[in-house]
């Protein structure tokens, strides 16, 4: 069965550079969530989209932006990267919003040097 | 302010016995709860969920119990197997986001 696809799997960037992470949800899923997990920490909710509209927002820095496209894939854009942005970034998708299971991708490991 | 808490960072259980992972939450608006299993460098894998209108949900070796009055849920794994060794996150749902707990590392030894 198709799962959530994230690309790239690994990314190394220098400070002050920009990065774009992509997420392709499970087919027919209309909701996408982004999470950031630092070393030894729980996944922190960044932002979610339902039917291409932002539906909820968490602790996402102003330097980050995201959107969901007409094909339901989503991109997380990160600018002016800082060392502290180094983390695993997970995307999840679900069918509908609210009380449904969200399925996660393998994550993108971003390293800022 | 941690809205979802897993107070035991680690748990060690012998193979064949029961593993009980606990989770407490503070927000009474949470209406759906999920457990995820996570291996290093992989995304969380959905295990089992429960709606706030229920107090128990069972799926094979996994059972989740919800005590709304105590704002507490638990995951029981019976019998525990070495392949269950991983980090387990509970998560609570409100609107369009999941709030995760801090995780409990379960180790099942032979």
Of A33, A42, A109, the CB nearest to B97: A33
The dihedral sign for the CA sequence A41, B71, B73, B50? negative
Residue of A nearest to B98 (CA): A45
Q: Where are the alpha helices (DSSP H) in A32-81?
A: none
pLDDT tens for A51-67 read 999 988 988 999 999 99
Could you please report the per-residue DSSP string of B24-93?
EE--TT--EEEEEEE-TTS--EEEEEEETT-SEEEETTEEEEEETTTTEEEEEESS--GGG-EEEEEEEE
**Spatial separation of the C-alpha atoms in residues B50 and B33, rounded to whole Å:** 5
- Report the pLDDT averaged over residues A28-35: 93
Q: What is the distance in angstroms between the Cα of B65 and the nearest Cα belonging to chain A?
A: 17
Return the DSSP state at A21.
Answer: E
Better pLDDT: A88 or A1: A88
- Report the pLDDT averaged over residues A35-49: 91
Which chain B residues are closer than 8 Å to A35 by Cβ? Answer: 100
Query: Residue B3 region, left (φ>0) first, then alpha (ψ -120 to 50), else beta?
Result: alpha
Reduced to 3 states (helix: H, G, I; strand: E, B; else coil), residue B13 is strand
Q: What is the distance in angstroms between the Cα of B27 and the nearest Cα belonging to chain A?
A: 15
Q: In what order do the strands lie in the sheet with B56-59?
A: B4-5, B19-25, B72-77, B62-67, B56-59
Question: CA-based angle A39:A43:A48, to the nearest 5?
Answer: 140
Q: How many CB atoms lie within 10 A of CB A27?
A: 10
Q: What's the pLDDT at A88? A: 95
Residues 6 or more apart whose CB falls under 8 angstroms from that of B69 comprise none
Q: What's the pLDDT at A1? A: 61
Of B42, B49, B89, the CB nearest to A42: B89
Of A31, A56, A104, the CB nearest to B43: A104
- Report the pLDDT averaged over residues A7-30: 96
Which chain A residues are closer than 8 Å to B103 by Cβ? Answer: 42
pLDDT tens for B10-66 read 999 999 999 999 999 999 889 899 999 998 878 899 999 999 999 999 999 999 999
Q: What is the mean pLDDT of chain A?
A: 93
Disruptive mutation site among B97, B101, B102, B103 for chain A (greatest number of A CBs within 10 Å):
B97
Any A CB within 8 A of B59 CB: no
Rounded alpha-carbon distances, angstroms, from residue A48 to A85, B39, B84, B107? 19, 24, 30, 33
Could you please report the per-residue DSSP string of A27-39?
TT--EEEEEEE-T
Within A16-85, strands assigned E span: 19-24, 31-37, 44-50, 53-57, 64-68, 74-78
Disruptive mutation site among B1, B6, B41, B43 for chain A (greatest number of A CBs within 10 Å):
B43
Q: What's the pLDDT at B42? A: 84
Disruptive mutation site among B96, B100, B102 for chain A (greatest number of A CBs within 10 Å):
B96
Backbone angles phi, psi at B82, to 5 degrees: -55, -35
């Amino acid at each position: 069965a198709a799962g959530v696809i994230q690309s790239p799997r690994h990314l190394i960037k220098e400070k002050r550079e920009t990065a774009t992470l992509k997420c392709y949800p499970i087919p027919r899923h209309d909701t996408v969530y982004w999470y950031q997990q630092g070393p030894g920490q729980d996944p922190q909710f960044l932002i979610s989209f339902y039917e291409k509209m932002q539906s909820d927002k968490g602790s996402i820095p102003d330097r980050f932006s995201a959107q969901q496209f007409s094909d339901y894939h989503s991109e997380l854009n990160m600018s002016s990267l800082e060392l502290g942005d180094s983390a695993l970034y997970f995307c999840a998708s679900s069918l509908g919003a609210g009380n449904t299971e969200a399925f996660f991708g393998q994550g993108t490991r971003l390293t800022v040097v | 302010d941690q809205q979802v808490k897993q107070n035991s960072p680690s748990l060690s259980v012998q193979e064949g016995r029961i593993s009980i992972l606990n989770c407490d939450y503070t927000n009474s608006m949470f209406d759906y709860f999920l457990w995820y299993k996570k291996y290093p460098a992989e995304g969380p894998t959905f295990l089992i969920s429960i709606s706030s209108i229920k107090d128990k949900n069972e799926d094979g070796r996994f059972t989740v119990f919800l005590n709304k009055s105590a704002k507490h849920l638990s995951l029981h794994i019976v019998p525990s197997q070495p392949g269950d060794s991983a980090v387990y996150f509970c998560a609570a749902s409100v609107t369009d986001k999941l709030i995760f707990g801090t995780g409990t590392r379960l180790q099942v030894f032979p």
